[in-house]
Structure 1
Amino acid sequence: MSGGWNTIESDAGVFTYLIEKLGVKDVQFDELITLEPDELRQLGDIYGVIFLFKYPTGEKPSDVPKDGTFDHDAANDIFFAAQTIQNACGTQAILSVLLNKDGEVDIGNELRGFKTFSSEFPPDLRGETLSNSDLIREVHNSFARSSPFIDETTRAATEDDDVYHFIAYTSINSTLYELDGLQPAPINHGPCTVSEFPEKIIPVLQRRIARYPATEIRFNLLACVRDPRIRARELGDQEKLEEEEHKRTEWLWENALRRHNFVGFVGELLKGVVRDKLAQGEGAYEKWIEEAKGRTRRRAQQGQ
C-alpha cells in the first residue's frame, strides 16, 4: 500500500503545473468567475470543467441520481474510476477529464501507460490502481500546502469538518458526462458535442448549485483548456501572450509559497523581536508584553 494523499487547493496554477509534472502538454486550467457560456467560449478549446463544492455529509448513495441518469455501460467504455482514498478527488477529477481526451490532448507517456494498464479493470479496481500510483501520488502531494502540525495523510474527516469534493464534467462520444468517483457510475446529462459544451454545461451546474441554500457560496469552477499561449502565438497577439506568461510567473511564485514551511521563519522573527526589546534596556520587554496583553483584552471586550 502506498503512502497517503494530502489535500490540494482548487487553484488554476496548482492544477496547471500538476498536470505538466505528470507529462501533459499544452493544457491549462483557468478559473471561471461567472456561469456564462460566453466566458467559457472565450477560453478557446475546452476539454472539460472541474467543479468544487461542499459535500453534504450524511448523504447516502442512491440508485437514482438527483440529476441525469446513471450510465453503467459507460463505466466500462470510458475512463471512470471509483474514489477509494481520502483527499485524492482533486487529481482524480483532473484525470477523469484528461484520460478521456487522449487523442485530443497529449497526456504524456506516464498517464497513457497508466490508462492502458487500467483500461480493462472495473471502476473500483481502477480507483485502487490510481490511489496506489506512486508517481501520481507524489506529484499530487508536491502541490499540497506545507503543514507542520497536521498529517493529512492519516487524519480522517469527521462530521464536524467542512468536507469539499471535486467532480468532472466533459463531453465524451457526444454525451455530457458527470464523472464523480463517489457515484456508482458516470452520470449522463444528455447529448452534447464538444462545440455545444459551453451551452450544455451551464444549466447542469446551475441545477446543482440550486440544491444548496442561497447563503452557500463556496463553489469553485475551473475550466480545462488548450494552453492559450499557443493561440496567442498563432495569431501574433503579443499582448495576450505577455498576459499569459505573466500569469504563469505568478503561479510559480504562489506554488513555491504553498510548499514552504514558514514556522522556522516565524520563530526566528520572534527571536529577533525579543532580542531587540531586551537590548532596549531594563523593563522594555516587560512593558511590551503588558501592552500586548492590554490590546488583546480590548479586542476581546469589543467582540463581546
Structure 2
Amino acid sequence: MSGGWNTIESDAGVFTYLIEKLGVKDVQFEELMTLEPDELRQAGQIYGVIFLFKYPTGETRSDTPQDGAFDFSAAEELFFAAQTIQNACGTQALLSVLLNKDGEVDIGKDLREFKEFTKEFPAEFRGETLSNSDLIREVHNSFAKSSPFIDETQRAATEEDDVYHFIAYTSIKNKLYELDGLQPAPISHGACTVSEFPDKIIPVLQRRIERYPATEIRFNLLACVQDLRIRAREMGDVEALEAEEQKRTEWQWENSLRRHNFVGFVGELLKGVVKDKLAQGGDAYEKWVEEAKGKTKKRMEERKKQGSTGDDID
C-alpha cells in the first residue's frame, strides 16, 4: 500500500466535508449531546449513527458478541468490510452507513464504483481494497491533524495506550445492524424499521456504555442525516437556514486550521516572551516561571476532580 492512514477527529464538520470530498451529496453529520430518541428525531431524516468509544485493547475475542448476534449471512448481502489497518476506522464507519444507503443517498460516482467493484468480495478483501484505495486514503488524510512530531502509522497500539474506535449502526432491510470492522460479521440487534431507528438504537448504545465504569465519559455520537439546509429551505425557515450556513462557515475555518501545525509560530512567540522577561531581569523571569507552574498544577488538580455520570455524551 502506498502511504499510511492518519488519525482523524470525531467531529461533525470533519466527517461532513470528508464525505463531500468523496462525492456524497446532501448528507451531513450532527453531533448528539444526549442519548434521547427525540434529539435524534430532531435531526431530520436519519441514515445511521457513528459511535466513538475507548476500545478495550486487552479484551479477548469471543465467538459471540456481548450484545446482539452475529449475522454471517448478512456479511455477503450488505456492505461490510473487515478493518485491516489502524486509524481507518472513522472513515470505514461512515462508509458502512452510506454504502448501505445507496439508493436513499447519492453516494457519488467514485463510491458507487468502489461498492460495485467490491460487491462479490468477502469482508477481508473489501477491507484490503478500502485500505488500498488512494482516493479514500488521500481524502481521509486531508482531514488529519498536522503534527511534526509523530507518524501515527508507525507504531501499533499497546494495552497501555488509550485507543479509540468508531463503529456504525444503521437500519438495513428492517434490521438494526452494528457494523464493526474488528468483528467477524455484522451484529444484528433485531427488527428495526427506519422510522423505529431512534427508539431502537438508544437502548443498544446505553447497554454498551454501561459496560464501562461510571467515571468513563469519553464517548462521542454522530448522526448521519440529510443535509439540514434542505429541510430549512422546504419549510421556508430562514433563521434555521442562516444558522446552518453559519455552521458550515465555521466548519470550513476549523478544518483549514486542522491542516496546519503552528509549532513554528508558537516557538517564535515563546522566544519573544522569554526574551522580554529576561530583559526585565532575572527576578521577573523566575517569578513568571513559578506562576506558570502554579497555574498548570492547579489545572491538573481540577481535571482530576472532574467526573460525570448519566447518559450525556461527551
Q: What TM-score comes out, normalization by structure 1 length?
A: 0.94
Paired amino acid for 2:180: D
The aligned counterpart of 1:292 is: 288
Aligned CA distance change for structure 1 residues 60 and 228 (closer, same or farther; 3 Å): same
2: distance between equivalents of 1:5 and 1:221?
A: 22
Gaps of 5+ in 1: none
Aligned CA distance change for structure 1 residues 35 and 293 (closer, same or farther; 3 Å): closer
Aligned CA distance change for structure 1 residues 285 and 102 (closer, same or farther; 3 Å): farther
How far off its partner does 1:277 sit? Answer: 5.2
Aligned CA distance change for structure 1 residues 6 and 46 (closer, same or farther; 3 Å): same
Gaps of 5+ in 2: 302-314
The aligned counterpart of 2:101 is: 101
How far off its partner does 1:54 sit? Answer: 0.6
The aligned counterpart of 1:22 is: 22
Mean CA deviation greater in 208-217 or 115-124: 208-217
CA contact (8 A) 1:2 1:133 kept: no
Paired amino acid for 1:295: E
How far off its partner does 1:270 sit? Answer: 2.5
Aligned CA distance change for structure 1 residues 293 and 45 (closer, same or farther; 3 Å): closer
2:206 paired with 1:210: no
The aligned counterpart of 1:148 is: 148
2:200 paired with 1:200: yes
CA contact (8 A) 2:146 2:258 kept: yes
**3-state secondary structure, aligned to 1:143:** coil
2:33 paired with 1:37: no
**3-state secondary structure, aligned to 2:285:** helix
1: distance between equivalents of 2:66 and 2:297?
A: 47
The aligned counterpart of 2:269 is: 269
Paired amino acid for 2:288: A
2: distance between equivalents of 1:253 and 1:133?
A: 27
2: distance between equivalents of 1:48 and 1:199?
A: 12
Aligned CA distance change for structure 1 residues 293 and 74 (closer, same or farther; 3 Å): same
Aligned CA distance change for structure 1 residues 71 and 245 (closer, same or farther; 3 Å): same
2:134 paired with 1:138: no
1: distance between equivalents of 2:66 and 2:133?
A: 32
How far off its partner does 1:275 sit? Answer: 5.0
1: distance between equivalents of 2:82 and 2:230?
A: 34
2: distance between equivalents of 1:258 and 1:111?
A: 25
Paired amino acid for 1:183: Q
CA contact (8 A) 2:57 2:158 kept: no
What fraction of aligned residue pairs are identical, expressed as a percent? Answer: 78
2:8 paired with 1:8: yes
Alignment length (residue pairs) = 300
Q: What TM-score comes out, normalization by structure 2 length?
A: 0.91
CA contact (8 A) 2:54 2:164 kept: yes
**3-state secondary structure, aligned to 2:117:** helix
CA contact (8 A) 1:169 1:176 kept: yes
Q: Which has the larger radius of gyration?
A: 1
**3-state secondary structure, aligned to 1:242:** helix
Aligned CA distance change for structure 1 residues 160 and 189 (closer, same or farther; 3 Å): same
